[in-house]
């Protein structure tokens, strides 16, 4: 039982994290929008960088991208909360049933991994050169987030035996 409860708590911890991130982005929209704005403008990367042609100058698209990010963070939170709830509701179920109820939590964790690895590390960090910015470099934070989520995902998908 301890392993099952441990998995539920770790999924809930990621749900809490994603909830706080989404809440912060919604309630402090302007401050956090500045991050997306500068990353997409590429105005703080190395002055001699030759990738500046990738910059997006449209403020409308900056808002659209930021709203999309918030939606994905929110969906990550919802799926993880829902998944943790389903797991908790089946904590005493036979192993096969408990293992089948992991699918929503797996979806939430996978989405969270993709948001921070693909969205922030790959697109923000590499495509828009975010790593070159002293002020708007979110790569180290994104790395911590997706590694943590990945570890929880790997732990969760380990098959549970009968209790």
DSSP 91-156: TTS-HHHHHHTTHHHHHHHHHHHHIIIIIIIIIIIIIS-GGG-SSS--HHHHHHHHHHHHHHHHHH
Rounded Cα distance between 131 and 137, Å, is: 5
Prediction pTM value:
0.95
Instruction: Quote the tokens at residue 122.
Output: 């790959």
Do 156 and 102 touch, CB atoms closer than 8 A?
yes
Summarised one tens digit per residue, pLDDT across range 44-98 is: 999 999 999 999 999 999 999 999 999 999 999 999 999 999 999 999 999 999 9
Summarised one tens digit per residue, pLDDT across range 114-143 is: 999 999 999 999 999 999 999 999 999 999
């Amino acid at each position: 039982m301890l392993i099952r409860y441990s998995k539920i708590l770790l999924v809930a911890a990621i749900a809490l994290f994603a909830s706080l991130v989404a809440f912060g982005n919604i309630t402090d929209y302007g401050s956090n929008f500045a991050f997306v704005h500068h990353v997409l403008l590429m105005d703080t990367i190395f002055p001699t960088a030759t990738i500046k042609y990738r910059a997006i100058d449209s403020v409308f698209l900056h808002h659209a991208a930021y709203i999309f990010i918030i939606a994905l963070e929110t969906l990550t939170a919802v799926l993880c909360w829902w998944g943790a709830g389903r797991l908790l509701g089946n904590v005493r179920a036979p192993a096969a049933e408990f293992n089948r109820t992991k699918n929503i939590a797996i979806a939430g964790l996978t989405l969270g991994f993709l948001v921070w690895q693909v969205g922030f590390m790959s697109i923000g960090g590499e495509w828009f050169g975010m790593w070159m910015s002293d002020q708007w470099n979110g790569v180290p934070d994104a790395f911590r987030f997706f590694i943590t989520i990945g570890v929880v995902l790997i732990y969760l998908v380990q098959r549970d035996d009968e209790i």
